[in-house]
A = this chain, B = another copy of it.
Amino acid sequence: MGAEKSPSTAEPGRAPEEAAVPADHPGVSELFAVLAYGEISAFYRLAEDARFSPSLRGRVALASMAAAEMSHFETLHTALTERGAEIYAAMEPYRKALDAYHASTTPSTWLEVLVKAYVGDGIAADFYCEIADMLAPEVSTVVREVLAETGHSEFVVQEVREVVERSPLQKDRLMLWGRRLLGEAITQAQYVLAQNEELAELVILASGDLTNIAALFDRMQVEHAERMSVLGLH
């Protein structure tokens, strides 16, 4: 996760009682668990997608991004253990939806790999960052840490821009690909929320109410469009 979104600075003036979701809400462990499985599945997806790389440099870039996911996984592992949760059992319910996201968005070219690594992780980061704002500080610190920039997105931006600037055909294809990534991500996010009551309650609490959840998904579309634009896809 987190090829894109910078963690916003903490709000030192905010008292813990202002958090919409208290640190002991049972949905917090569920949130950490879905994030943790997200890191593992992103690791293996990046490692597998590297087979499309035309160069050793590309393989190294993807391996570095994958390694950063594992460092985030360790943070979540520690956080879950501190909450008394067993990480492997906790992740189990989320395997199906996350594996389904990757299965439905398997890249078939190196450019699709790069756009997915950048845009797909960005969509997830947008969603979690929106929620993080309303969590108790000790929880939001963990969420922001695992969504931090991995520092390799510059490589993706350069590679993609260079191609789409000279090929309208590639540009059209990648714009459709980006739209598909967003659609599949939202489908699977809704599936995850429908599946776990505690997590759904956490998201509703964090958003305020159901109307706000709709507004949250709208903002994600805007942020997605901005990110596509950075890649020259607009």
**Is A59 touching B47 in the complex (CB atoms < 8 A)?**
no
Number of interface residues of A (CB under 8 A): 24
A-B contact pairs, 9 of them (CB 8 A): A40-B60, A43-B63, A47-B66, A56-B92, A63-B66, A64-B74, A66-B66, A66-B70, A67-B70
> For residues 7 through 35 of chain A, which have their beta carbon under 8 Å from a beta carbon of chain B?
none
Contact check, B63 vs A40: say whether CB atoms are below 8 A apart.
yes
Q: Is A1 engaged at the interface, CB distance under 8 Å to the other chain?
A: no
Please name the 10 residue pairs, one residue from A and one from B, whose CB atoms are nearest each other, closest first.
Answer: A47-B47, A67-B70, A67-B67, A43-B63, A63-B70, A56-B88, A57-B88, A64-B70, A40-B60, A40-B63
Number of copies: 2
0/1 string, A156-190, CB within 8 A of B gives 1:
00000000000000000000000000000000000
Q: Is the CB of B44 within 8 A of A59?
A: yes
- Chain A 40-83 per-residue mask, 1 if CB under 8 angstroms from chain B, else 0: 10011001101000011101100110110111011000000000
Verify A73–B60 contact, CB threshold 8 A: yes
Q: Which residue, of A50, A59, A60, A92, has the highest number of chain B Cβ atoms within 10 A?
A: A60
- Give me 20 other A-B pairs in contact (C-beta within 8 A), A44-B63, A67-B70 excluded: A40-B56, A43-B63, A43-B66, A43-B67, A44-B47, A44-B50, A47-B47, A47-B66, A56-B88, A56-B91, A56-B92, A56-B95, A57-B88, A60-B88, A64-B70, A64-B73, A64-B74, A66-B67, A67-B69, A67-B71
